[in-house]
């Protein structure tokens, strides 16, 4: 199948299947700017990348009204390369990282929106905080001094499995964690969960942001 011909169709198809209140982030990691441009021309404005340098290069090359989402694991020493333009950082998993994002955001006179990444999968390889650790961050006095970041919600990745019941259980756990964190900060609104293989389940469990890559752009080739 030639996905390049059908990026617009894939987008249209997915958009038709998700409710209006759910934000679709087109995950374009490893894909050339030409592919992103095709999605842009089809009306897509929110894009997700997992490497800061790659995102910064694409930011330079593409229209300025794109909302850039950092969905990967963030190294503190690279925050400075995206602080000027990033729209939402999904993978925040430590207070130290929040401090660095705050510091870099301040230089650009911005408030950068962040999500706390919560570990919900059985796999130990996936990054993220426990609910207790996330609560500690939300309740810490030091957080109040970080005026250039705003925690707007949570993000999580389910186990890579065919077992739908397990995926549903993990997404439900994330929704419950969100509810408890929201009791600390009632302004939180976002739950980023759901990828190509599981976004319909995620939406049924309360997702507000889905991160969809291969169903839009085709399979990724990590060798090029």
Ligand X SMILES: *Cc1c(COP(=O)(O)O)cnc(C)c1O
| Only segment of 33-41, 133-141, 177-185, 192-200 that touches ligand X (CB under 6 A) | 192-200
Name the residue whose CB lies closest to ligand X.
213
| Cα–Cα dist 218/224, whole Å | 14
Q: Is the dihedral of CA 96, 101, 104, 106 positive or negative?
A: negative
* Residue with Cβ nearer ligand X (143 or 152): 152
Give yes or no for residue 71 binding ligand X (CB under 6 A).
Answer: yes
Give yes or no for residue 195 binding ligand X (CB under 6 A).
Answer: yes
**Binders of ligand X: how many residues, by CB under 6 A?**
14
Give yes or no for residue 39 binding ligand X (CB under 6 A).
Answer: no
| Cα–Cα dist 32/58, whole Å | 9
| Only segment of 15-23, 53-61, 158-166, 208-216 that touches ligand X (CB under 6 A) | 208-216
| Only segment of 101-109, 131-139, 177-185, 194-202 that touches ligand X (CB under 6 A) | 194-202
CB distance 47 to 67 below 8 Å: yes
* Residue with Cβ nearer ligand X (73 or 103): 73
| Cα–Cα dist 207/107, whole Å | 32
CA distances from 6 to 15, 16, 98, 186 (A): 14, 15, 39, 41
Give yes or no for residue 6 binding ligand X (CB under 6 A).
Answer: no
CA–centroid distance for 182 within its chain: 19
Q: Which of residues 138-167 bind ligand X (CB under 6 A)?
A: 157
Query: Which of 103, 197, 200, 218 forms a contact with ligand X (CB under 6 A)?
Result: 197
Give yes or no for residue 213 binding ligand X (CB under 6 A).
Answer: yes
Give yes or no for residue 84 binding ligand X (CB under 6 A).
Answer: no
| Cα–Cα dist 15/177, whole Å | 27
| Only segment of 58-66, 137-145, 172-180, 211-219 that touches ligand X (CB under 6 A) | 211-219
Please give the structure tokens belonging to residue 89.
């950082």
| Only segment of 96-104, 105-113, 133-141, 195-203 that touches ligand X (CB under 6 A) | 195-203
| Cα–Cα dist 193/211, whole Å | 7
CB distance 26 to 10 below 8 Å: no
153, burial (CB in 10 Å: exposed 0-12, middle 13-18, buried 19+)? buried
* Residue with Cβ nearer ligand X (27 or 86): 27
The footprint of ligand X (CB under 6 A) covers 27, 29, 50, 71-72, 157, 195-197, 211-215
């Amino acid at each position: 199948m030639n996905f390049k011909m059908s990026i617009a169709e894939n987008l249209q198809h997915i958009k038709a299947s998700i409710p209006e209140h759910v934000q679709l982030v087109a995950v374009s990691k490893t894909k050339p700017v030409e592919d992103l441009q095709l999605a842009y021309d089809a009306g897509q404005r929110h894009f997700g990348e997992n490497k800061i340098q790659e995102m910064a290069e694409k930011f330079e090359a593409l229209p300025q009204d794109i909302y850039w989402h950092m969905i990967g694991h963030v190294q503190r020493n690279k925050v400075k390369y995206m602080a000027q333009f990033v729209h939402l950082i999904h993978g925040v998993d430590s207070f130290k990282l929040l401090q660095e994002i705050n510091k870099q955001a301040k230089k650009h006179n911005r408030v950068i929106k962040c999500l706390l990444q919560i570990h919900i999968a059985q796999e130990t390889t996936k990054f993220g905080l426990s609910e207790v650790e996330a609560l500690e961050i939300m309740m810490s006095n030091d957080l109040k001094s970080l005026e250039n970041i705003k925690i707007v919600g949570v993000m999580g990745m389910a186990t890579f499995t065919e077992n739908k019941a397990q995926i549903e259980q993990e997404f439900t756990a994330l929704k419950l964690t969100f509810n408890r964190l929201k009791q600390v900060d009632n302004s939180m609104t976002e739950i980023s969960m759901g990828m190509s293989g599981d976004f319909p389940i995620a939406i049924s469990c309360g997702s507000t942001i889905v991160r969809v890559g291969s169903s839009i752009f085709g399979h990724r080739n990590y060798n090029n």
